[in-house]
Amino acid sequence: MAETYQAFHRRSIEQPEAFWAEQAELIDWHKPFEQVLRFDNPPFRDWFVGGETNLCHNAVDRHLKDRADQNALIFVSTETDTEKTYTFAELHREVSRFAACLQDLGVGKGDRVLIYMPMIPEAIFAMLATVRLGAIHSVVFGGFAAHSLATRVDDAQPKVMVTADGGMRGGKIIPYKHLVDDALAQSEHPPASVLIVNRGLDPDMAIVAGRDVDYASLRERHLDANVPCEWVESNHPSYILYTSGTTGKPKGVQRDTGGYAVALAASMKHIYCGNPGEAYFSTSDIGWVVGHSYIVYGPLIGGMATVVYEGLPIRPDPGIWWQIVEKYKVTVMFSAPTAVRVLKKQDPAWLKKYDISTLRYLFLAGEPLDEPTAQWISDALNVPIIDNYWQTETGWPMLTAMPGVENTPVKFGSPSFPAYGYNLKLLDEVSGEEVGPGEKGVVAVLPPLPPGCLSTVWGQDDRFVNTYFKGFKDKLVYSSFDWGLKDEDGYYFILGRTDDVINVAGHRLGTREIEEAVNTHNSIAECAVVGVADQLKGQVPMAFAVVKDPAQLADETLRASLAKEVIATVSKELGAIANPSQVHFVTQLPKTRSGKVLRRSIQAIAEGRDPGDLTTLDDPSGLEQVKQAVTGQS
């Protein structure tokens, strides 16, 4: 008889070593591990100690025996009207060539390679080639501005940077190279070489002699390369992925190799139900964790073809995703609630135009999925809609239904139950005690964290412990910084952040980072940025700024002009992804008597809610100004 979800989860918590040893059989090991779990220095833990493996081998090489001629990578760009498929054999050749290029530039085991790329095949080749060499990649989302890129360069200190002349979005060319040049001019630890994939999008691209290398020319010299995999110990870092925190300093999530490979292989079987030989389509970007786990590594480790899509969900028309599903017989799809809300605004006929009978599941993650959106897409597609909840830090779902284990009923608006391996609790933020059904608590995990989760913060072990494990007095518990509750049936619901990180269309942004960017404008004395609920994007940043000279606010034209300047400043510092939806000007911010800005009260007012307990408020006029700004009375 098949194991129930509850029995499966219980076994993963009560017998973790036996459970994960079983899952470890889903990948190839060059050398068997000697110990499943080492947990003698909590909260740090090592999985599959002494085992040697390689992520690229598990994603590519091991499939050559049985499926060399099967599609591995399907590239579709509606921006350049390009479609190209690569079999596992062709992918292997291209990754070998890319690895040889990186070796040529001095990259070896443990070196970092920073990848700042659009959604093109070469970006995936670069990631796989890096881990093939035992090097560590750091992919930075192609929408980030030069300043943000520079901070990540300085933190990772890469030997080589891989970029392109440009990307495209909505038919518009977005040049990358000038941003790279600007970032490296700001950087204290610029890479020795910049490898450039020239797509012919930027004829005016400047080349820095002695540093910039043309990928096409270097590739020509290595067409016959056959670079072997570098076998690394299971806990060797595979990549760094930066995530927003409550300070401006980058926080690099460090992932291991063996545990990550096992976690992804197990998830393809138990959660996503993807089979070798089928096609998987994640609409994310490789700059985010979903792109790492479920565009690149997860599907390929599972022997599936992965769809790499450059384009928008509604261009050339709102049927494009379903056209891809029909053409490539996609069986599993992964997207974000925001994208579904965009589709919801279109003619529903587009959802019926194509034959999507191969599609078994649509998984959604990145932000809370509201019940009406889930119900709408479920009715429209007539396939199971499964909500995942997870984080950059965890690398794979924390809360999810697991149809590969048991087909439990879903409740729209809920990401179901804790995934196997996660000893998940809802804890009272003050006492640290577990809360009861229907009570709000912080989503927390009792260590050890399962395989695939972050090992540490890159170069900052203290920050790893202090950020994630010091949230509860006298308890060493991983905090997700998210509120949740559990109903009487055991289903979990996510209610939003406990800290100053907001979720904009699935992208995590630190409000403090945006505040720092706003404050660089010469006219601004101070500001507060809060995340405000938005029907389409989940949340959007809203800024409340105090100007140095109130005369600048004398009339509406001056205010509007200053607001545009502030938004342009944020765009320059962080990228357009962080732009405030609105900039409100006030002469003072609401603060406590000790000088702390009451951000939660500001957020409540901006969302039309009760501002809550104001007993610590120093001067009520600050709060009144926020109210007037929001209602348009200022």
**Is 468 found in the same domain as 418?**
no
The parent domain of residue 547 ranges over 501-631
Residue 592 has pLDDT above 60, yes or no: yes
The last residue of one of the domains, among 378, 413, 445, is 445
Q: Is residue 177 part of a domain?
A: yes
Q: Both 33 and 80 in a single domain?
A: yes
> Which pLDDT value is given to residue 273?
97
Instruction: Give yes or no: residues 145 and 221 share one domain.
Output: yes
586 in a structural domain: yes
Please say if the pLDDT value at position 633 is more than 60: no
Q: Is there a contact between 445 and 423 (Cβ–Cβ < 8 Å)?
A: yes
Does 162 share its domain with 76? yes
Residues 484 and 618 in one domain: no
**Range with lowest mean pLDDT among 196-205, 221-230, 305-314, 549-558:** 549-558
Q: What is the CATH number of the domain that holds 185?
A: 3.40.50.12780
**pLDDT, position 616:** 60
Domain boundary residue, one of 468, 497, 526: 497
pTM: 0.86
26 and 148 together in one domain? yes
**450 domain-assigned:** no
Q: Is residue 244 part of a domain?
A: yes
228 lies in a domain?
yes
The pLDDT of 103-118, averaged and rounded, is 98
Of the listed ranges 151-160, 192-201, 448-457, 621-630, the least confidently predicted one is 621-630
Is 24 inside a domain boundary? yes
As for how many domains the chain has, the answer is: 3
- Is there a single domain that holds both residue 102 and residue 130? yes
| Contact assessment for residue 322 and residue 362, using Cβ atoms and an 8 Å cutoff | no
Nearest Cα neighbor of 364 from 344, 378, 352, 349 is 378
Q: Which of 409, 425, 445 is where one domain is finished?
A: 445
| 577 vs 358, more confident | 358
612 lies in a domain?
yes
Predicted confidence (pLDDT) per residue in 360-381, tens digit: 999 999 877 878 889 989 999 9
CB 365 within 8 A of CB 338: no
Look at residue 571 and tell me if it is in a domain: yes
Q: Which long-range contacts (CB under 8 A, 24 or more apart) does 168-176 make?
A: 168/77, 168/79, 168/80, 168/118, 168/201, 168/310, 169/79, 169/312, 170/312, 170/315, 171/79, 171/315, 173/201, 173/202, 174/118, 174/142, 175/201, 175/202, 175/205, 176/116, 176/117, 176/118, 176/142, 176/202
Same-domain check for residues 487 and 552:
no
- Specify whether 401 is located in the same domain as 493: no
Nearest to 394 by CA among 445, 338, 460, 336: 445
Q: Identify the bridge partners of residue 31 per DSSP, sorted by sequence position.
A: 52
Same domain? For 484 and 366 the reply is: no
> What is the model's pLDDT at position 634?
47
- Closest C-alpha among 199, 184, 76 to residue 140: 184
Do 55 and 148 belong together in one domain?
yes
Specify whether 398 is located in the same domain as 476: no
CATH code assigned at 582? 3.30.300.30
